[in-house]
Amino acid sequence: MAKILIIYSTTDGQTRKICRRLQQVIEQQTHQVTVVPVQDAHSIDLAAFDKIVIGASVRYGKHSPLIADFIQKNRLLLESKPNAFFSVNVVARKPEKCKPESNPYLQKFLNRILWKPKELAVIAGRLDYPSYGFLDRTMIRLIMWMTKGPTDPNTVVEYTDWKQVEDFGCLISAM
């Protein structure tokens, strides 16, 4: 049995939902899983965990700066353990941008940091216009119009492939 830590940042809650599903899958493999938002990670003893997984959503083309700061401060410890990183973004809904090597947001992030995660995943997120404030709804609709995505302000689409999430959970279990 391994002790596994999952640290995440989320904007609208989809990354947290993905982390909870990963937790369920991994715990079915008899591992102990702790899930914490990145803003609470400073109070965790990272050395007490056998594996560390980090997940981050993308908003306006960027992952949370809190995630990059956490990685920078803890890079050596991360590298000393089995580890993984996953990016949650809506551009991953497109078949040509759903792999780590072809997702522009993940590649840009990896080029910004020194840490080289041992395992990577890109998971499509959720589009939920009614839950966004006016500015976010307007900006995301513009981005979706430019990328030929849905722009109806009533649109709610969950692009997350839950089988992919479960497979990633099995991969984490086996690391």
Q: Write the CATH number of the domain with boundaries 3-125+160-174.
A: 3.40.50.360
Mean pLDDT of the chain: 96
Distance in Å from the first CA to the final CA of the chain: 12
What pLDDT shows up at residue 147?
A: 87
Q: Say what percent of the chain tops pLDDT 70.
A: 100
Under DSSP, the state recorded for 98 is S
d(CA 124, CA 15): 10
Identify the bridge partners of residue 123 per DSSP, sorted by sequence position: 88
SS (H, E, C) 40-54: HHHHCCHHHCCEEEE
Q: Three-state DSSP class for 17?
A: helix
Token pair for 125: 């997120």
For the chain, residues with pLDDT lower than 50 are none
Burial tier of 75 (Cβ tally within 10 Å: 0-12, 13-18, 19+) = middle
What pLDDT shows up at residue 89?
A: 95
Residue range(s) occupied by CATH 3.40.50.360 in the chain: 3-125+160-174
The DSSP result for 104-164, as a single string, is HHHHHHHHH-S---SEEEEEE-EEEGGGS-HHHHHHHHHHHHHTT----TT-EEE---HHH
What pLDDT shows up at residue 153?
A: 95
Q: What does the pLDDT look like over 56-76, one tens digit per residue? A: 999 988 999 999 999 999 999
* pTM score, whole prediction: 0.94
What pLDDT shows up at residue 60?
A: 87
Residue 34 CA: distances (Å) to CA of 53, 76, 94: 10, 21, 31
Under DSSP, the state recorded for 90 is G
